[in-house]
């Protein structure tokens, strides 16, 4: 467990140390005395600074300003938009004249170094991260300036510095040999660090390829970005990767630093299973990751200072937030979290040591210079061990789980054996029940199909009764006039018969003529002809209806017949004429080839389709004044095509796929069984035909039926 009381005491001690250090800070020396040519001498405590908030001062104006001593062992000017003028005076008491002034701050944006010549005239050298790397005199990430100070001589130098990042300037002076020897040592230490990080990347990448655990992939990404950040801070990337792109070099600090924070929290979420243990903390982590986008975006618009401030604030908060999350997960008993907590604590100690060195609390030496690198490398190695321990934990959990699974399987096997007997009995009982249900369903289906047929038969019978009633009425209504006229004819004939026994024939003839005049014999002859013609017409119309019924019914439908489909259409229209109610029928019956079919079945298809068109028009037209049914037949080499088109209400797209389903209907309750189109589909399928429905709402519907001329043709 973490001892929070002890942490609190240590924090108080740190605050007291900071206060005492600032209170007893040594006074700055006005002049740097270079006497020991075998060492690098720090000049920060002898530096004088003037802050130019206007950023417009020229050299001649700046040197006349009141410079103030910082009293810092390491010059730290913080984050500022101002330009800083730095003044330092060096007295050379050694025997070496040619020296090097070194600024160990690779990330400073702009530096202008002013140096006097032998006539005490000042010249300047412009450098910094905003300048291409090739402009530097010495190809080193730090800034090196040649200074020539004869023995027993004092010279004053000026530096003009501005940057969007923290301006921390560890300035040293020494001979070339000592300086380059120091640089070589630094490069070796940096190389060791880079080597450790690359080895960890390759090691964890290899394990990821072997075990396919995504934790290793996230960790490889995290190490890689941390490596980019650390080497970027040392200026190596600017030197070796993009020496001619100073703008990107400056921006890369924001980019990689923000990405390292995002990558670190992403790895933490996955490794510590934060979402599983603390969903709220996981959501906070996602929110903080989004905040990291700010220092990535705003430098693109020139707000570098603000971006650096947001980055520092976010990074500091995230560091301690991740420490807090690790502590919370440890308290949950998750063992890998202990490794993470130790590794992250070591890294934070390295960061704290680096910061304390920058503010002058800790001395500037090889150890404090690389505390962040040491902490980062130690963190990387420890987290690799943590990942390995995590795999062992998973392996043990998997073995325990497998053992439990085996035990459960054995128990299940026993239960299954016991249940098999019961299941077999249940299956046998259910099979009997299903057979009964299936038999009942078949009976019900047969009854429904019969009901549909009876419904169609009832409608057909009503239509036939209506159609045959007219000619029969015409015949029956002419019987009485015919009887009357025959009686009148018989009266005239009787008068003529009386002539045979009459002696007064002229008188009888006069009586006959009088009777013929009374009965209007001439009109009587015309009326008889008219009545007989009407009776004959009624008989013919009755004969046509009976013939149409015979053609429609096709009692021999069990056998395949070669028939003309037009005959069936005409017969069907004749029988349902009474149902049209003013609907116009337009026939475009072509000279179609006879087809091999069951005629009665095909006539049933035609009747069901026309019946649906009448229903669709009735739903749209109140009086059917504009109702129109268009029937077209045509054929090619192998197929006869029947097209029935109406201008009814149409069919919605969402029910087109259900039209031919049994029992599906759009008609009101009691108006249909939902089997009409299903029967149509079955009849067409049995004839190896095809049916297509095209429809638009309130425009109408077109049904296309294609039947092969020869039933052996594949549809």
Statement to judge: residues 569 and 535 lie in one domain: no
Please give the residue range of the domain that contains residue 46: 28-175
Determine the average pLDDT of the residues in 101-109.
Answer: 86
Q: Give the integer Cα–Cα distance in Å for 477 and 616.
A: 38
| pLDDT band at 159; cut points 50, 70, 90 | very high
- Per mean pLDDT, which range of 108-112, 161-165, 591-595, 626-630 is the poorest? 591-595
Statement to judge: residues 525 and 596 lie in one domain: no
Ramachandran assignment for 389, one of left (phi > 0), alpha (psi -120 to 50 degrees), beta (any other)? alpha
- Per mean pLDDT, which range of 299-308, 501-510, 689-698 is the poorest? 501-510
- Per mean pLDDT, which range of 259-273, 396-410, 485-499, 538-552 is the poorest? 538-552
Determine the average pLDDT of the residues in 47-74.
Answer: 88
Statement to judge: residues 533 and 622 lie in one domain: no
Statement to judge: residues 570 and 693 lie in one domain: yes
Statement to judge: residues 308 and 254 lie in one domain: yes
Length of the chain: 715
- pLDDT of residue 555 exceeding 60: no
Total domains present in the chain: 4
- pLDDT computed for residue 49 by the predictor: 92
Q: pLDDT, tens digit, for every residue of 343-356?
A: 878 777 776 766 66
- pLDDT of residue 21 exceeding 60: no
Is 305 inside a domain boundary?
A: yes
Find which of 146-155, 227-236, 245-254, 405-414 is predicted with most confidence, using mean pLDDT.
Answer: 146-155
- Per mean pLDDT, which range of 56-65, 135-144, 219-228, 494-503 is the poorest? 494-503
- pLDDT of residue 40 exceeding 50: yes
- pLDDT computed for residue 697 by the predictor: 87
Alpha-carbon torsion (67, 70, 71, 76), positive or negative: negative
Is 202 inside a domain boundary?
A: yes
- Please list the residues that pair with 125 across neighbouring strands: 113
- pLDDT computed for residue 57 by the predictor: 92
Statement to judge: residues 242 and 105 lie in one domain: no
Report the CATH number that the domain containing residue 605 is assigned in CATH: 3.30.565.10
| Burial (CB count within 10 angstroms: exposed 0-12, middle 13-18, buried 19+), residue 582 | exposed
- Per mean pLDDT, which range of 19-33, 80-94, 508-522, 654-668 is the poorest? 19-33
pLDDT above 70: percentage of residues in the chain: 79
Determine the average pLDDT of the residues in 658-666.
Answer: 73
- pLDDT computed for residue 84 by the predictor: 93
Statement to judge: residues 314 and 388 lie in one domain: yes
Report the CATH number that the domain containing residue 69 is assigned in CATH: 2.60.40.2380
- pLDDT computed for residue 627 by the predictor: 85
Is 686 inside a domain boundary?
A: yes
Statement to judge: residues 540 and 475 lie in one domain: yes
- pLDDT of residue 556 exceeding 50: no
| pLDDT band at 4; cut points 50, 70, 90 | very low
- pLDDT of residue 28 exceeding 50: no
Structure tokens at 59: 């050299």
- Per mean pLDDT, which range of 85-99, 443-457, 595-609 is the poorest? 443-457
- pLDDT of residue 110 exceeding 80: yes
| pLDDT band at 358; cut points 50, 70, 90 | low
Q: How far is CA 251 from CA 235, 247, 254, 307, in A?
A: 13, 6, 5, 10
Boundary (domain end) residue, out of 150, 175, 200: 175
- pLDDT computed for residue 59 by the predictor: 92
DSSP conformational letter for 438: H
- pLDDT of residue 603 exceeding 50: yes
Is 632 inside a domain boundary?
A: yes
Determine the average pLDDT of the residues in 250-269.
Answer: 84
Determine the average pLDDT of the residues in 672-682.
Answer: 74
Contact yes or no for 641/634 (Cβ under 8 A): yes
Statement to judge: residues 497 and 366 lie in one domain: no
Is 486 inside a domain boundary?
A: yes
- pLDDT computed for residue 31 by the predictor: 87
Q: pLDDT, tens digit, for every residue of 206-215?
A: 878 877 778 8
- pLDDT of residue 14 exceeding 70: no
Is 9 inside a domain boundary?
A: no
- Per mean pLDDT, which range of 41-50, 186-195, 301-310, 459-468 is the poorest? 459-468
| pLDDT band at 492; cut points 50, 70, 90 | confident
Boundary (domain end) residue, out of 519, 551, 583: 551
Q: Give the integer Cα–Cα distance in Å for 75 and 358.
A: 8
Statement to judge: residues 229 and 267 lie in one domain: yes
| pLDDT band at 461; cut points 50, 70, 90 | low
Statement to judge: residues 211 and 86 lie in one domain: no
**DSSP letter string over 61-90?**
HHTTS--EE---SSEEEES-SSEEEEEEEE
- Per mean pLDDT, which range of 2-16, 293-307, 322-336 is the poorest? 2-16
- pLDDT computed for residue 5 by the predictor: 38
Tokens 């004429």 — which residue? 577
Is 92 inside a domain boundary?
A: yes
Boundary (domain end) residue, out of 175, 200, 226: 175
Determine the average pLDDT of the residues in 168-193.
Answer: 86
Task: Round the average pLDDT of the chain to a whole number and report it.
Answer: 78
- pLDDT of residue 234 exceeding 70: yes
Q: pLDDT, tens digit, for every residue of 373-419?
A: 777 777 777 777 777 766 666 666 667 777 777 777 777 777 777 77
Is 500 inside a domain boundary?
A: yes
Contact yes or no for 106/235 (Cβ under 8 A): yes
Report the CATH number that the domain containing residue 209 is assigned in CATH: 1.20.1070
Statement to judge: residues 583 and 638 lie in one domain: yes
Contact yes or no for 633/590 (Cβ under 8 A): yes
């Amino acid at each position: 467990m973490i001892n929070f009381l002890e942490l609190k005491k240590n924090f108080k001690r740190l605050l007291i140390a900071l206060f005492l250090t600032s209170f007893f800070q040594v006074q700055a020396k006005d002049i740097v005395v270079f006497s020991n040519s075998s060492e690098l001498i720090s000049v920060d405590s002898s530096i004088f600074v003037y802050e130019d908030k206007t950023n417009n001062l020229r050299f001649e104006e700046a040197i006349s300003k009141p410079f103030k001593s910082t009293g810092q062992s390491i010059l730290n000017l913080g984050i500022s938009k101002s330009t800083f003028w730095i003044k330092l005076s060096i007295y050379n008491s050694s025997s070496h004249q040619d020296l090097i002034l070194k600024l160990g701050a690779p990330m400073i944006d702009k530096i202008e170094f002013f140096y006097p010549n032998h006539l005490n005239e000042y010249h300047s050298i412009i450098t910094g991260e905003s300048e291409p790397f090739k402009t530097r005199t010495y190809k080193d990430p730090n800034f090196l300036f040649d200074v020539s100070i004869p023995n027993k001589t004092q010279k004053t130098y000026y530096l003009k510095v501005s940057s969007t990042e923290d301006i921390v300037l560890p300035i040293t002076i020494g001979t070339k040999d000592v300086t380059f020897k120091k640089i070589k040592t630094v490069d070796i230490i940096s190389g060791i660090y880079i080597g450790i990080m690359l080895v960890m990347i390759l090691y964890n990448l290899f394990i990821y390829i072997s075990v396919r655990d995504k934790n290793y992939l996230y960790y490889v990404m995290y190490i890689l970005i941390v490596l980019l950040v650390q080497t970027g801070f040392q200026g190596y990337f600017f030197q070796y990767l993009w020496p001619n792109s100073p703008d990107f070099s400056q921006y890369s600090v924001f980019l990689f630093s923000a990405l390292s924070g995002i990558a670190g929290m992403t790895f933490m979420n996955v490794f510590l299973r934060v979402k599983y243990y603390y969903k709220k903390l996981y959501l906070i982590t996602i929110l903080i990751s989004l905040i990291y986008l700010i220092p990535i975006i705003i430098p693109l618009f020139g707000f570098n200072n603000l971006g650096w401030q947001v980055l520092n604030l976010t990074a500091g908060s995230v560091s301690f937030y991740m420490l807090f999350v690790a502590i919370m997960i440890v308290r949950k008993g998750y063992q890998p979290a202990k490794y993470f907590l130790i590794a992250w604590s070591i890294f934070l100690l390295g960061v704290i040591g680096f910061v304390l060195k920058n503010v002058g609390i800790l001395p500037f030496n090889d150890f404090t210079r690389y505390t962040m690198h040491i902490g980062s490398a130690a963190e990387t190695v420890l987290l690799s061990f943590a990942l390995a321990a995590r795999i062992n934990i998973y392996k043990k959990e998997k073995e325990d789980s497998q053992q439990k699974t085996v035990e459960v399987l054995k128990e299940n096997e026993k239960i299954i054996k016991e249940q098999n007997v019961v299941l077999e009995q249940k299956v046998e009982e259910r099979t009997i029940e299903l057979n009964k249900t299936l038999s009942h369903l078949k009976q019900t289906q047969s009854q429904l199909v019969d009901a549909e047929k009876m419904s169609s038969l009832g409608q057909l019978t009503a239509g036939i009764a209506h159609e045959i009633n007219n000619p029969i009425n015409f015949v029956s209504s002419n019987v009485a006039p015919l009887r009357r006229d025959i009686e009148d004819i018989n009266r005239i004939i009787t008068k003529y018969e009386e002539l045979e026994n009459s002696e007064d024939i002229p008188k009888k003839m006069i009586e006959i003529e009088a009777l013929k005049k009374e009965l209007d014999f001439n009109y009587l002859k015309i009326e008889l002809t008219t009545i007989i013609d009407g009776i004959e017409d009624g008989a013919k119309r009755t004969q046509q209806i009976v013939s149409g019924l015979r053609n429609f019914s096709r009692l021999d439908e069990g056998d395949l017949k070669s028939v003309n489909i037009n005959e069936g259409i005409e017969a069907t229209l004749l029988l349902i004429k009474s149902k049209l109610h003013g609907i116009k029928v337009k026939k475009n019956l072509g000279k179609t080839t006879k087809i091999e079919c069951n005629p009665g079945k095909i006539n049933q298809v035609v009747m069901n389709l026309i019946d649906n068109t009448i229903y669709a028009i009735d739903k749209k037209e109140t009086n059917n004044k504009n109702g129109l049914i268009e029937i077209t037949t045509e054929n090619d080499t192998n197929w006869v095509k029947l097209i029935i088109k109406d201008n009814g209400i149409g069919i919605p797209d969402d029910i087109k796929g259900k039209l031919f389903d049994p029992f599906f209907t759009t008609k009101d309750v009691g108006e249909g069984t939902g089997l009409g189109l299903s029967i149509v589909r079955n009849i067409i399928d049995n004839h190896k035909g095809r049916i297509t429905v095209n429809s638009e709402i309130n425009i109408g519907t077109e049904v296309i039926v294609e039947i092969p001329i020869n039933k052996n043709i594949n549809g």
